[in-house]
Amino acid sequence: QKEVEQDPGPLSVPEGAIVSLNCTYSNSAFQYFMWYRQYSRKGPELLMYTYSSGNKEDGRFTAQVDKSSKYISLFIRDSQPSDSATYLCAMTKAAGNKLTFGGGTRVLVKP
């Protein structure tokens, strides 16, 4: 079993819809949680960064962490075709530690 599970998709939504993404994990030692966006043939780009449980909002993006359920989510409001990409969740235990990534969810926003 992988440490971090993420549905590979693809997830297809119409423009303007809310995109809902999530990851589950097994290691309770993870404390720092991130979402990266990766366009095809490009490097990952950090979108959201959260420490421990709670919500964080940045523009159209909201990240949620529920450590008791070992479950993290990313919501994208008012989705745009430019949001079409692969979204990777990542997490780590402490400063300097390696990131453990989910396999990524491919999202397609149709105009």
Partner 1 sequence: NAGVMQNPRHLVRRRGQEARLRCSPMKGHSHVYWYRQLPEEGLKFMVYLQKENIIDESGMPKERFSAEFPKEGPSILRIQQVVRGDSAAYFCASSLTRNTGELFFGEGSRLTVL
**Which residues in this chain contact partner 1 in the complex, by CB under 8 A?**
4, 6, 8, 31-34, 36, 41-46, 49, 51, 88, 90-92, 94-104
Nearer to partner 1, 49 or 75 (CB): 49
Q: Which is nearer to partner 1, 20 or 97 (CB)?
A: 97
Return the ∠ at Cα 88 (arms to 82 and 93), rounded to 5°: 145
Centroid of chain to Cα 38: 11
In the bound state with partner 1, the residue whose beta carbon lies nearer, of 20 and 52, is 52
Which positions ≥6 away from 23 have C-beta within 8 Å? 4, 5, 6, 71, 72, 73, 89, 102
Phi and psi at residue 81, to the nearest 5° = -55, -30
Distance in Å, CB of 111 to partner 1, minimum: 26
CB closer to partner 1 out of 51 and 78: 51
Q: Quick check: 4 and 104 in contact, CB under 8 A?
A: no
Q: Which two tokens stand for residue 79?
A: 């989705």
Q: How far is the CB of 78 from partner 1 (least distance, A)?
A: 26
- What is the closest distance, in whole angstroms, from the C-beta atom of residue 101 to partner 1 in the complex? 4
Measured from the CB of residue 16, what is the shortest distance to partner 1 in angstroms? 29
